[in-house]
Amino acid sequence: MDHPHIITLIGIAWDSLSDMCVVLEFMDGGDLRTLLTSYEEAKHPVGFDKQKATIALHVCEALTYLHSLMPPDIHRDLKSRNLLLNRNFEAKLTDFGISKERLDQTMTAGVGTSLWMAPEVMLGEKYDVKADIFSLGVVLSELDVHTLPYTQAKKTKPCFHGA
């Protein structure tokens, strides 16, 4: 894959199939989750600013590239830890360990990380590139409020109506 917002594979070395090493492009800004945790701890204002909007745009561009390949490539594990930043806050998508070219119309294997996972993937139903778009929405919520997905849901009591 060759895209400015997808991490570059430098090379692979191995002694055996069970002893492999992958060398990827170095991103000196760390991952997005670490940045957002530091924002939360420093009480950085929530909401979108130019920096966050640019990060979001980079992720969208990477997904557009993946999904426009023939056949489309589904990342299947889009989350803030899999978005690396350089010192200029340019974002690159990484961790293609479970990405898969879509060889048929849909897949059913429940893979990915549950907090970012589309409902159809969680339920083991058929899914396609739209599952990555669901995960993108979760990442956008992280960019907005700096917290892990559904953090506030855990702190509120359920509201029941009826008898």
15 assigned to active site: no
- Distance, in Å, from the CA atom of 153 to the CA atom of 150, rounded to the nearest integer, reads 5
**Of the listed 77, 95, 128, 144, which one is catalytic?**
77
Taking CA atoms, 145 is separated from 31, 64, 126, 139, 149, in Å, by 16, 24, 31, 10, 9
Residues 6+ apart with CB under 8 A from 159: none
| Beta carbons within 8 Å of 82's beta carbon, 6+ residues apart | 31, 75, 93, 94, 95
| Site of tokens 């849901």 | 153
Amino acid at 57: L
3-state helix, strand, coil in the chain (%, to 5): 35, 15, 45
The set of catalytic residues is: 77
